[in-house]
Structure 1
Amino acid sequence: MEDKQSKIQIGGSVGGPVTGGNIQGTSSSHVGGDVSFAINELPASSEPDKPGIKELLIELEAAISADPNLSEDDRNDALEQVKDLAEAAKNPNDGRMKEKAKKAGRMLGRIISGIPTAAQLVEACSKLLPLITKVFGF
């Protein structure tokens, strides 16, 4: 007796509820989304005229994302460090989180220092990193 069930053909394109039917994008868009999510979990500053860690990290993420002089790899690495800072900021007094934040700050400094043409980003980091690391007590 012959099986009359439908056969599944492998190939074609993905359709349906998958974001517009296409699975595309760069790794930086994925990293950027993770960073934004981690930052958005932080509370907003309680002082309207003084930015808190959330606002500082938003500004840093924007500076990294907007800098045209960063390579894709450097941008992804820098955004990963911002994500680590955001995760550490959820519990800034925890020893492991302090170490995570310290490492992320050092890594960002190294990434930025290796890119002399990223003047706006260097300026932003020079202003923002000391304020961000102050939250962790160093």
Structure 2
Amino acid sequence: MKAIKISLLALTLGLMSFSVVPSHKNPIEKVTPPSAVVWKAEAIEVGQIPQGTPRTIEFEFKNTSDKSVIITNVKPACGCTTSDYSKEPIAPGKSGFVKAIYNAAALGSFTKTVTVTTNVEETPKVLTFKGTVVAKS
């Protein structure tokens, strides 16, 4: 009987030592740095476009960083869209642009994208425009 009591006591003490968990928590906060390029709009609704009438969609941005922003690449998602953009470095506090020129050849609704890469952000920005191409009256 004495052996059982000692075994139970040892088991209880053993379990108690494992149940002691430090109560301090040290959460790691993920801090997202502010974007160096702030877009006026990342998606633009262009409405109706007459078929065969190219439409220029302009996306404006502001450089909110402390160094010049250089657009290193602008890539439309399809051959129906061409692009233009600010070629010179955009100084801190100044604004720049990316233009998408959509040819509006095919009738119907559309959603198109243009991917913009800069020297100050790791992830390229995908800009979107959408609307409907209608038959000319």
Q: Which has the higher helix share?
A: 1
Structure ID, larger Rg: 2
Q: Which has the higher strand share?
A: 2
Report the TM-score when normalising by structure 1: 0.24
Report the TM-score when normalising by structure 2: 0.24
* Greater RCO structure (CA 8 Å; 6+ sep): 2
